[in-house]
Amino acid sequence: MGVAEKGSSALRKLKSVAQKQAANLPAGHLINAVVEQVSQFENGIRHTVDGVQDKVKSLQANLLKMYQANKELELENRGLQKSLVSLEKENAQLTMQLDRTQMELEVLQAKLDNIGKLVSGYEDSIAAAMRPGKSKRK
């Protein structure tokens, strides 16, 4: 039995006893007026306690919702952290592959430059050979 219920029970008993004894007294109407005020006070306390209990229940429900939402966010955060680690590994691998490809591209560019120089040299040789001028006959 809660504190409010015990208090309410005690006030009801007190009210009942006071009303029975007031009936036999000349100032019974005054006692009944006091008993009525006590009754109103009791009702006010009951409404206050009920309101506080409702508020506590509401706060408990909100706290539970917040706790559950926090657990869900923590779980989602762990999943995102795992994804981030995986993406960082993949990024590192792609960066290494890009570096290797860049080096290969530089080697191929150097070879292409050398081929260009050779072709240019052959063209110059062919052009020189086809110029009329000095003949090799003596």
pLDDT digits (tens, 9 = 90+) for 35-81: 788 888 888 988 999 999 999 999 999 999 999 999 999 999 999 99
State phi, psi for 100 to the nearest 5 degrees.
Answer: -60, -45
Alpha carbons 18 and 15: distance in angstroms, whole number: 5
Model's pTM, two decimal places? Answer: 0.50
**Cα separation, 70 vs 76, whole angstroms:** 10
Give the pLDDT score at 135: 54
pLDDT of residue 98: 98
Distance CA 35, CA 17 (A): 10
Half-sphere exposure of residue 14: CA atoms within 13 angstroms, side-chain side:
14
Q: How much is the mean pLDDT over the chain?
A: 87
Beta strands in 6-120 (DSSP E): none
Say how far residue 124 (Cα) sits from the centre of its chain.
Answer: 72
Q: Coil, strand or helix: which one is 24?
A: coil
